[in-house]
Amino acid sequence: MTDTTTALSAADKGLDKSLERLFDLLRIPSISTDVAYQDACEKAARWLVVELIALGFEATVRKTPGRPMVVAHYTPKAATAKTPHVLFYGHYDVQPVDPVELWHSPPFEPVRKTGKDGVERIYGRGATDDKGQLMTFVEAARAWISATGSLPIKATFLIEGEEESGSPSLIPFLKENKAELSCATAFVCDSNMWDEKTPAITTRLRGMVHEEIVITGPRIDLHSGMYGGAAMNPIRVLSKVLAALHDKTGKVTIPGFYDGVKPLPAAAKKQWQSLKFSEKKFLGDVGLAVPAGEKGKSVLEQIWARPTAEVNGIWGGYTDAGGKTVLPSKAHAKLTFRLVGQQEPEKVLKAFQKFVKDLLPKDCKVEFSGTGGGAPASEISEDNAFIRKSAAALKAEFNRAPVLMGSGGSIPIVRSFKDILGMDSVLVGFGLNDDAIHSPNEKYNLSSFHKGVRSWVRIMGALAE
């Protein structure tokens, strides 16, 4: 028996205990976008440090101006100059839970349920994103240590608490701790498999930038009878602006928006076509039938290789029960732009702001209150030893070669690792498209968790060879 098979066996035997620990972490409501949960975020960070210290890591909670970071190091006693040193990244913060009334069980009281389809699932906020995922490499480390007395590699764990709120503290933290955090590569566990039977390594990520706008018409709320017709309604103005964002072909109309966007290379187009991805099922699963993106592009291209302008929230006027004949003073919207290729976040924001101002009637005002920042897209070279070794390990676990895929989501850390620490990233995760991350009833399949732990056991073993 090799060390890897011993560790795999320990992972299997320890599965129930692993799940108990995951549930402890899921019970902590560590929502980072809302200051009301600051204490919970700190509690989650401390919980991780206590666990990692018990495993033999040198682990610390590190203060930031926002939510704390968890940094933990492990050096095997038998380590030599040749022992590879890699970083594992995850995040302990989670999304808000609203609309909470749509959850079948309370979001912070995780449950394990077997569906009518016989599939066992873990329900709770963070079940996948990213507590379930980060616990796969934590528990893989535990399996190695309990089976063999040590990890087979030098490892640094970096677990942040602001991923869901734009990671404001991350870049300064990486800069201040550059020497401590620079490794041969980073493994980022925050992405999906191709499907439940097929693993994936994500090599292409969209960037993102946020914006929030407030349009003011009259300086106070007005009576829609007394003023209606003569006074400009800011909801009318906001609707005009948002409606103008896309043309009839689904293209974003902001001048200059597509600067830096290149057509998809023929090789990638061919590989993606070979995936036999069902657009009908992908959209049908969420109740839709017609791709909403640019006409003539496949759905995979729309979500992996094309930028978006998306409204995440809109509000203004009277929104409670019943009616109110108000002509409101203000109308609000939150937007995100997903970026690809060489699109620059700041340039996109400026182009959007000009676009809004150009559509504004003379006597209306607009304020922009986005947090700025944002991150450009990342494309990772598939030609490196860490990706090759990981691919082989995943193939051994799943009996299928992993798909080298894109992701519509944004993991700005990948860009920061490259720019600040000079590391490439290997994105391996075990989520599925139907996990409902960011939505009510978020879940992680038990098999995702179990195979996730086993996959990391194999990858750690493969790296040491």
The residue among 169 and 233 lying less far from a second copy, judged by its C-beta, is: 233
CA distances, 148 to each of 144, 198, 235 (Å): 6, 29, 64
The residue among 206 and 454 lying less far from a second copy, judged by its C-beta, is: 206
The residue among 79 and 408 lying less far from a second copy, judged by its C-beta, is: 408
> Among residues 56, 293, 341, 452, which is the contact residue for a second copy, using CB under 8 A?
293
For the window 429-458, what string marks contact with a second copy as x by the rule CB under 8 A? ----x--xxxxx------------------
Which one-letter amino acid corresponds to residue 214? Answer: V
> Among residues 15, 326, 392, 396, which is the contact residue for a second copy, using CB under 8 A?
326
> Among residues 30, 136, 156, 302, which is the contact residue for a second copy, using CB under 8 A?
302
Peptide bond into 328 cis (omega under 30): no
Q: Are 376 and 433 in contact (CB under 8 A)?
A: no
Binding positions for a second copy, 61-80, rule CB under 8 A: none
Which one-letter amino acid corresponds to residue 213? Answer: I
The residue among 106 and 218 lying less far from a second copy, judged by its C-beta, is: 218
Residues 437 and 98: their CA atoms lie apart, in Å, by 12
Q: Are 291 and 299 in contact (CB under 8 A)?
A: yes
CA dihedral 386, 420, 96, 240 (to 10 degrees): -110
The residue among 329 and 455 lying less far from a second copy, judged by its C-beta, is: 329
For the window 12-51, what string marks contact with a second copy as x by the rule CB under 8 A? ---------------------xxx----------------
Binding positions for a second copy, 254-283, rule CB under 8 A: 279, 282-283
The residue among 4 and 191 lying less far from a second copy, judged by its C-beta, is: 191
Q: Which of 391, 199, 194 is nearest to 304 (CA)?
A: 194
Collapsing DSSP to helix, strand or coil, 346 comes out as helix
DSSP conformation class of 409: S
CA dihedral 54, 56, 58, 62 (to 10 degrees): -30
Sign, CA dihedral 240-245-247-249, equals negative
Q: Does 354 bind a second copy (CB under 8 A)?
A: no
Binding positions for a second copy, 136-195, rule CB under 8 A: 164-166, 192
- Bridge partners of residue 378, in order along the sequence: 205
Binding positions for a second copy, 207-236, rule CB under 8 A: 208, 210, 212, 216-233, 235-236
For the window 357-386, what string marks contact with a second copy as x by the rule CB under 8 A? ----xxx-------x---------------
Tokens found for residue 109? 């009281």
